[in-house]
Amino acid sequence: MNILNDLKLWMIEALKFFYSVSGNWGAAIILLTVAVKLALYPLTLQSTKQMEAMQKLQPKMEALKKKLGDQPEKLQKETIELYKTEGVNPLGGCLPMLLQIPVFLALFYALTSQEFAKVLAGAGHSAKFLWITNLAKPDPSFILIVLIGLTTYWTTMTMPGGGGKQQKAMLYFMPGFIAIISMSFPAGVQLYWVVQNILTIAQQVYILRK
């Protein structure tokens, strides 16, 4: 927990730095989100590549299950051999994502912290951004809420296997659920969420096309 708190304080200092560059707290949130996303790109690349490799391996794994379904020990051995032959790490898609979670949590806590709220309270005009009158309060126009729902949907769609049967329910449930729970968040957090989703979509499309 101390590590997360330290990361949160670093994020606040980073926000102050980007504010000194941009002169606006909304722009500072966007710049910090972009910087964090770029810093974590190698982990995102590794995760997406492994997820794509696992997706391509599914037909062979299904064939093994049909062939050796009644021989669990042999099935496990053959599955491990298949991973080795194809150069796929079954945990390769999860571990890089898990390493990113503390960073994103720290940024989230920084944006919802009392320290940052006090900074915005005395920011005056620089606490406004585009149509948002106050980044410390929820967006009253609900534009960011709608954008959160839409970008969450497209984030899931651009993931390897995003149109598969296993993710059909998530495609329709998660965007609405996340949009609803984000309604009470400050507009600064809502802005971060939208930018984060857009960058995730762009990265996944770029990686998979490349």
> Helix/strand/coil (H, E, C) string of the chain?
CHHHHHHHHHHHHHHHHHHHHHCCHHHHHHHHHHHHHHHCHHHHHHHHHHHHHHHHHHHHHHHHHHHHCCCHHHHHHHHHHHHHHHCCCCCCCCHHHHHHHHHHHHHHHHHHCHHHHHHHHCCHHHHCECCECCCCCCCCCCHHHHHHHHHHHHHHHHCCCCCCHHHHHHHHHHHHHHHHHHHHCCHHHHHHHHHHHHHHHHHHHHHHHC
pLDDT tens for residues 147-156? Answer: 988 888 888 7
Residue predicted with more confidence, 29 or 135: 29
Name the pTM for this structure: 0.72
The tens digit of pLDDT for each residue in 93-141 reads 566 567 667 777 887 888 788 777 777 776 666 667 888 887 777 888 8
Q: Domains of the chain: which residue ranges?
A: 2-209
Write down the pLDDT at residue 80.
73
pLDDT (tens digit per residue) in 65-80:
776 666 677 767 777 7
